[in-house]
Amino acid sequence: MPRQYKRIPPAQRFWKHVDTSSDCWLWTGYRLPAGYGYIGPSIRGEKHQLAHRVSYELANGPIPDGLVIDHLCRNPPCVNPAHLEAVTHQQNTLRGNAPSAKLALQTHCKRGHELTEDNIYRDPSHPNQRNCRICRRIRSREYKARKRIGQ
């Protein structure tokens, strides 16, 4: 005879794994290697979910299409809805500490030239990368000078 399982409501399953003793409400259940809380399905057919997404949806309703949940506190196990915000993937990336976020915040190239729209070259094969036009010209001149000497 098949076993009968009692379905526990998602909110009840969620809250039993939350420590609200500090400003960041920490997920005490299973965490992924990156630190994000992970909650399994209560019955077959349901999907595993990230705990911070469940927290946001319990507090605010469904996550709008095309948006991701950003931790304003930069603490992956935190599930405090006050620390979570629905933003675009690009906003989430730029708010982080990844190299792409740091590069996007740069106002000058490594040689000190200002990175204005007039001074930025975007390679068609890498349209999201910004390259300094002045430095590009300098490198081109240096290359041509080396070629002349080498001939």
pLDDT value of residue 100: 79
Q: What is the CATH number of domain 1-96?
A: 3.90.75.20
Dihedral class, residue 58 (left if φ above 0, else alpha if ψ from -120 to 50, else beta): alpha
pLDDT value of residue 2: 60
pLDDT value of residue 12: 83
Q: Residue 23 carries which DSSP code?
A: S
In the chain, ranges of CATH 3.90.75.20 domains: 1-96
pLDDT value of residue 66: 95
pLDDT value of residue 102: 84
pLDDT value of residue 151: 60
Of 116, 113, 151, 150, which is closest to residue 135 (Cα–Cα)? 113
Residues 70 and 87: beta-carbon distance below 8 Å: yes
pLDDT value of residue 143: 93
* Tens place of pLDDT per residue across the chain (151 aa): 566 556 677 788 889 999 999 999 999 999 999 999 998 876 666 788 899 999 999 999 999 999 999 999 999 999 999 999 999 998 998 888 888 788 888 889 999 999 998 999 998 998 888 899 999 999 999 999 998 887 6
Both tokens of residue 123? 């390679």
pLDDT value of residue 36: 95
pLDDT value of residue 59: 95
